[in-house]
């Protein structure tokens, strides 16, 4: 026989913004709330940067773009669910590299690697495929403008430089990484400039994105803001008949 059931529509949520604004932390919490798939696109570019470092394409003399481009097919980036932390972990060629890609050495080089057209084409193609079935929360710098321009909810996160520097400093220190605030300030300034001025898919706010300035907001306040907006779009669901 048939029995009516309630099925809620799934939406895609795009969260963009500058580095160290807390995009990933918030995106993970939102994805967990709705039982959606969380995709950290920044981690994908970090993994590609780690690949370039491991292969010797990044040296004190600079980045060998040609060598990296020729080797792109040998960089296999996936996500692996960790049943202990309940989070997805970034893998490079079958190896979990979640800790390695957060190191300052990767942070210093990720923007130049991300600016390479061929790198972006490869990763954007993968990101688009992952979002096809809806129910995805994705964060990065070009999600609402390039990867998911038709996302149902778009958020653009900002915060003051001072707040961003302190957050990044606290994060790295908590992980046992020796770093100074001056190093972080220089890194954030350089990344902002490169990300905003690159030729391919620059960081910019989508016209239909909601700006979330979280300089003085707690994580709970940010979370509540996005959850409320998402629930308005999802609605109460629609009743359908399901075979029992």
The domains of the chain, with CATH numbers, are 7-232 (3.40.50.300)
**What is 175-195 written as a DSSP string?**
TT----HHHHHHHHHHHHHHH
pLDDT confidence bin for 84, thresholds 50/70/90: confident
pLDDT > 90: what percent of the chain? 72
Question: What would the mean pLDDT of 170-187 be, rounded to a whole number?
Answer: 90
Residue 235's CB: how many other CB atoms inside 10 A?
10
Strands 58-59 and 153-158, sheet pairing: unpaired
**Among the listed ranges 86-90, 119-123, 192-196, 211-215, which one has the minimum average pLDDT value?**
86-90
Tell me how long the chain is.
Answer: 244
Question: What would the mean pLDDT of 48-53 be, rounded to a whole number?
Answer: 98
> At a CB cut-off of 8 Å and minimum separation 6, what does 18 contact?
157, 158, 159, 164, 188, 192, 195, 203
Above 70 in pLDDT, residue 169? yes
Give 116-160 pLDDT, tens digit per residue.
999 999 999 999 998 998 999 999 999 999 999 999 999 999 999
Residue 38's CB: how many other CB atoms inside 10 A?
19
Average pLDDT score, the chain: 90
Give 203-219 pLDDT, tens digit per residue.
999 999 999 999 999 99
pLDDT score recorded for residue 156: 97
User: Which neighbouring-strand residues pair with 40?
Assistant: 139
pLDDT score recorded for residue 88: 78
- 50: tokens are 């780690």
pLDDT score recorded for residue 6: 57
pLDDT score recorded for residue 89: 87
Above 80 in pLDDT, residue 167? yes
Above 60 in pLDDT, residue 5? no
Beta strands in 95-237 (DSSP E): 95-96, 136-140, 153-158, 210-213
């Amino acid at each position: 026989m048939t029995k009516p059931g309630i099925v809620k529509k799934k939406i895609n949520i795009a969260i963009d913004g500058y580095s160290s604004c807390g995009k990933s932390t918030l995106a993970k919490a939102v994805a967990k709330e709705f039982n959606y798939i969380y995709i950290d696109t920044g981690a994908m570019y970090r993994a590609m940067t780690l690949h370039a470092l491991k292969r010797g394409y990044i040296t004190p003399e600079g980045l060998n773009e040609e060598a990296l481009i020729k080797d792109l097919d040998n960089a296999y980036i996936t996500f692996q669910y960790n049943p202990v932390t309940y989070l997805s972990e970034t893998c490079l060629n079958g190896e979990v590299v979640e800790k390695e890609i957060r190191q300052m050495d990767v942070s210093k080089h990720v923007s130049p690697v991300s600016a390479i057209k061929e790198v972006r084409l490869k990763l954007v193609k993968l990101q688009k495929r992952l979002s096809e079935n809806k129910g995805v929360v994705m964060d990065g710098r070009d999600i609402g403008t390039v990867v998911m321009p038709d996302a149902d909810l778009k958020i653009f996160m900002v915060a003051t430089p001072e707040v961003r520097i302190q957050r990044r400093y606290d994060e790295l220190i908590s992980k046992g990484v020796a770093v100074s605030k001056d190093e972080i300030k220089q890194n954030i300034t350089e990344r902002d400039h490169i990300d905003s001025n690159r030729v391919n898919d620059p960081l910019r706010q989508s016209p239909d994105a909601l700006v979330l300035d979280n300089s003085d907001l707690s994580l709970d306040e940010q979370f509540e803001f996005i959850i409320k907006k998402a629930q308005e779009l999802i609605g109460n669901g629609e009743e359908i008949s399901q075979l029992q």
